């Protein structure tokens, strides 16, 4: 059988057996599936890959075992994180690179423990991987980038867009929280074979943090530690020993002569395994065995041939000029200035809480730290690397961190990064309706987290609203993928509520393309946001209230809005709590603007005759003295009446002179509170065609 025929048969198997991958895959490597997707999207890639394999077969005989050129490969590791376990340490990254260098140079301590049948075939690839010391702009770097993004979860190629360095200069490695798998289970990583990546910006390998090295979040097992070696083997052209089949699905061919045909060792270590008529090379790094120790001489030959090809620009990495450009030439040293950064364990808490601030400085190892935390009237300082600060006064706190290292000093300041709330709730009873008058993000009732990606994120919109005068908007059209924009409500006192609890809201949103993947997470907390319980997740299809819009989305009418609610068990556990907050987290996924309006919290049915209604009116000012304006909008002519109630639902006063038929459109009516009504909390009722709507009024 000719090599070309073998290649074509293998690629036919790749297509015909793709459906079996989910059934047989042992949750290690997603390379076969990702390459198949690339071929389906661009059939020309498959044609080029056939030609590439033919060229390799004709030239790999030129490599003579023992003549390794010791190619140096500049590496950059991109840590894509959401401040979770995936934020692995520099030490864990260094450990992974050390394992990679040992395995590619036959220096791993278990290389001489290979079963005797394959001991003579153990190959030395001769590649050395070095973390870059210069970034693409020539600046000093330690070869590690760290970027916060929600794309770290169930990551795929989109996560790579968060941070990427040119593939002709760097071997890109991405580390994430988890990798997306249509078949479920944990995926350790995946790579694109040379010339098969959908784009230059997706070429490299992506690793689950738990399969990166042997320390830190990795469990230290052979299986986990060698995933980086396995995926790097793919990057330089090695296939699984079973070729393009799925592990365990049948005999396959990896196009390397000294690797026996096998159906694979799927998470086992049976050294006497024979699946295709001869002893399997179970300990091969490209298998799924739990005791991998070796590449074969043939695999070393294949990779040495690949690194001299232009496919995927592999041959540009080791050129002398590129080593100088990336600071990876032998003997080059420099001490980088640090880039100060930190992470707040919690960004909201009650007074009296102690919060941890963690140094997250990059680019160098700090030797000194100086912290200043202030809300303008109260200031804390510390020289600890990771200080605990006990906050005794409410307010928004700015944090400044200055770090020193051998290469210099650096400072960073974040405004209002921590908000400390009073332990007493803002709203002392459960009746609540908010149309976001008085610019709530400015005067502090609602809290929006700051973002480095200005102008994206939450803002007040006075031009777009469902109920006059404002809505809150996520400026999202063009926002970087995976950014999380957080909005936190005032606190509510539900301690007197024994009946049902319901929160409703309106929103408007449009996708920018079919594949837009924005989402909204709604959570609840009763301890000032120190811990949150997720109550609802709305995906892009759930959010879309209008059709696909590429220009800036602006709802054209009320038909472009949707309403939704949290009811029953979603909220009932908090019905007796005294300090309850809601959190809305919008995750950017390539869509358009999002608008939020008419937050309505209601309780027992005896108080609200229409439990499913979102209150359609606004009161201002609120709190008020003796005069308050009631503003509302009607879609059609309606009969209206207005009354004042106490919190039990008993009517205290009715404005009979304001009752009657009202035309469609916007209305604003001034209400004079009678002198005999004492200061306190009341309900204003707007009755529209027999349906009662209530809103709380605080009378000073």
Q: What is the mean pLDDT of residues 612-622?
A: 65
Provide the token pair at 308: 């001299």
| Helices (H), ranges, 75-197 | 90-104, 116-119, 157-160
- Residue 30: predicted pLDDT: 93
- CATH level 3 topology of 342-418: Immunoglobulin-like (2.60.40)
DSSP H or E segment with residue 325:
helix 320-326
The phi, psi pair for 496, rounded to 5°, reads: -95, 5
- Cα separation of 417 and 348, whole Å? 9
Catalytic residue among 68, 231, 585, 608: 231
- Residue 623: predicted pLDDT: 82
- Residue 616: predicted pLDDT: 61
Q: CA 11, 13, 16, 20 torsion: positive or negative?
A: negative
Relative to beta strand 71-81, strand 144-148 is parallel
Same fold, 3-246+295-307 and 432-602: no
| Helix/strand/coil (H/E/C) assignment for every residue in 496-525 | CCCCCCEEEEEEEECCCCCCCCCEEEEEEE
Confidence of residue 21 (pLDDT cuts 50, 70, 90): very low
What separation, in Å, do the N-terminal and C-terminal C-alpha atoms of the chain show?
92
Residues facing residue 459 across a β-bridge: 473
Most confident of 588-592, 602-606, 653-657: 588-592
Q: Residue ranges of the domains in the chain?
A: 3-246+295-307, 342-418, 432-602, 617-699
**What would be the CATH architecture of the domain defined by 432-602?**
Sandwich (2.60)
Q: Is the pLDDT of residue 538 over 50?
A: yes
Burial class (CB in 10 A: 0-12, 13-18, 19+), 262: buried
- Residue 16: predicted pLDDT: 37
Q: 2.40.30.10, 2.60.40.1930, 3.40.50.1970, 3.40.50.1000: which CATH number matches 617-699?
A: 2.60.40.1930
Task: Give ∠ CA 319-322-323 in degrees, rounded to 5.
Answer: 85
Residue 350 vs residues 353, 395, 417, 423, 691: alpha-carbon distances, Å: 6, 10, 15, 5, 39
Q: Is the pLDDT of residue 427 over 60?
A: yes
Beta strands in 406-470 (DSSP E): 408-421, 432-434, 447-448, 457-461
pLDDT by residue (tens digit) across 630-673?
A: 888 887 888 999 999 886 667 899 999 999 999 988 888 999 99
Q: What is the mean pLDDT of residues 80-97?
A: 97
DSSP reduced 3-state for 247: coil
- Residue 14: predicted pLDDT: 43
- Cα separation of 571 and 603, whole Å? 11
Q: Is the pLDDT of residue 1 over 60?
A: no
- Cα separation of 536 and 566, whole Å? 8
Q: Is the pLDDT of residue 608 over 50?
A: no
- Asked if 231 and 187 count as a contact pair (C-beta separation under 8 A), the reply is no
- Residue 110: predicted pLDDT: 96
Q: CA 427, 428, 434, 438 torsion: positive or negative?
A: negative
Confidence of residue 12 (pLDDT cuts 50, 70, 90): very low
> What is the CATH number assigned to the segment(s) 3-246+295-307?
3.40.390.10
Provide the token pair at 208: 């689950």
231 is catalytic: yes
């Amino acid at each position: 059988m000719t090599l070309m025929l073998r290649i074509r048969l293998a690629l036919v198997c790749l297509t015909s057996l793709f459906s079996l991958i989910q059934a047989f895959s042992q949750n290690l490597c997603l390379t076969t599936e990702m390459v198949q997707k690339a071929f389906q999207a661009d059939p020309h890639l498959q044609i080029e890959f056939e030609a590439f394999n033919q060229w390799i077969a004709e030239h790999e005989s030129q490599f003579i075992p023992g003549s390794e050129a010791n190619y140096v490969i500049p590496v950059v590791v991109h840590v894509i994180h959401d401040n979770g376990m995936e934020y692995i340490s520099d030490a864990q990254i260094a450990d992974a690179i050390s394992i990679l260098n040992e395995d590619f140079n036959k220096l791993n301590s278990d290389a001489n423990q290979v079963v005797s049948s394959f001991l003579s075939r153990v190959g030395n690839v001769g590649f050395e991987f070095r973390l870059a010391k210069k970034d693409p702009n020539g600046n000093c770097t330690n070869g590690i980038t760290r970027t916060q993004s929600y794309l770290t979860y169930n990551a795929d190629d989109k996560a790579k867009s968060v941070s990427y360095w040119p593939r002709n200069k760097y071997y890109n490695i991405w580390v994430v929280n988890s990798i997306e798998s249509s078949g479920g289970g944990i995926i350790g990583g995946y790579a694109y074979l040379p010339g098969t990546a959908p784009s230059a910006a997706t070429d490299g390998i992506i690793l689950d943090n738990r399969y990166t090295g042997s320390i830190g979040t990795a469990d230290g097992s052979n299986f986990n530690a060698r995933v980086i070696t396995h995926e790097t083997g793919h990057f330089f052209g090695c296939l699984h020993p079973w070729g393009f089949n799925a592990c365990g699905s049948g005999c396959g061919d990896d196009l390397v002569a000294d690797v026996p045909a096998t159906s694979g060792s799927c998470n086992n270590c049976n050294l006497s395994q024979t699946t295709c008529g001869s002893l399997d090379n179970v300990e091969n790094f490209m298998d799924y065995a739990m005791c991998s120790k070796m590449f074969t001489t043939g695999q070393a030959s294949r990779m040495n041939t690949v690194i001299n090809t232009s496919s995927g620009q592999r041959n540009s990495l080791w050129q002398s000029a590129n080593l100088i450009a990336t600071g990876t030439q032998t003997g080059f040293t420099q001490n980088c200035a640090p880039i100060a950064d930190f992470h707040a364990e919690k960004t909201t808490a009650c007074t009296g809480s102690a919060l941890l601030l963690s140094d997250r400085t990059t680019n160098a190892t700090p030797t000194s730290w100086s912290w200043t935390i202030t809300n303008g009237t109260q200031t804390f300082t510390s020289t600890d690397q990771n200080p605990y600060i006990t906050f005794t006064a409410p307010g928004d706190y700015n944090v400044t961190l200055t770090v020193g290292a051998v290469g210099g000093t650096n400072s960073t300041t974040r405004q209002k990064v921590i908000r400390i709330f009073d332990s007493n709730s803002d709203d002392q009873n459960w009746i609540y309706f908010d149309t976001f008058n008085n610019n709530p993000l400015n005067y502090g009732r609602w809290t929006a987290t700051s973002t480095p990606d200005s102008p994206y994120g939450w803002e007040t919109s006075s031009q777009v609203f469902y109920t006059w005068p404002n809505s809150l908007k996520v400026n999202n059209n063009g926002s970087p993928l995976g950014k999380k924009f957080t909005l936190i409500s005032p606190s509510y006192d539900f301690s007197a509520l024994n009946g049902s609890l319901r929160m409703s809201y309106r929103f408007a949103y449009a996708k920018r393309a079919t594949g837009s993947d924005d989402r909204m997470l709604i959570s609840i907390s009763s301890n000032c946001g120190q811990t949150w319980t997720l109550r609802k997740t709305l995906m892009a299809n759930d959010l879309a209230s209008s059709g696909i819009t590429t220009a800036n989305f602006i709802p054209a009418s009320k038909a472009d809005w949707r309403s939704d609610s949290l009811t029953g068990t979603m909220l009932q556990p908090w019905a007796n709590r005294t300090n309850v907050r809601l959190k809305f987290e919008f995750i950017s996924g390539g869509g358009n603007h999002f608008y939020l309006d008419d937050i309505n919290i209601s309780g027992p049915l005896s108080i609200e005759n229409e439990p499913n209604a979102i209150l359609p009116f606004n009161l201002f000012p609120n709190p008020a003295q003796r005069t308050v304006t009631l503003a509302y909008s009607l879609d059609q002519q309606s009969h209206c009446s207005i009354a004042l109630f106490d919190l039990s639902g008993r009517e205290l006063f009715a404005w009979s002179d304001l009752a009657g038929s009202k035309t469609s459109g916007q209305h604003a009516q001034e209400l004079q509170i009678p002198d005999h009504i004492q200061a306190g909390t009341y309900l204003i009722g707007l009755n529209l065609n027999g349906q009662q709507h209530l809103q709380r009024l605080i009378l000073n």
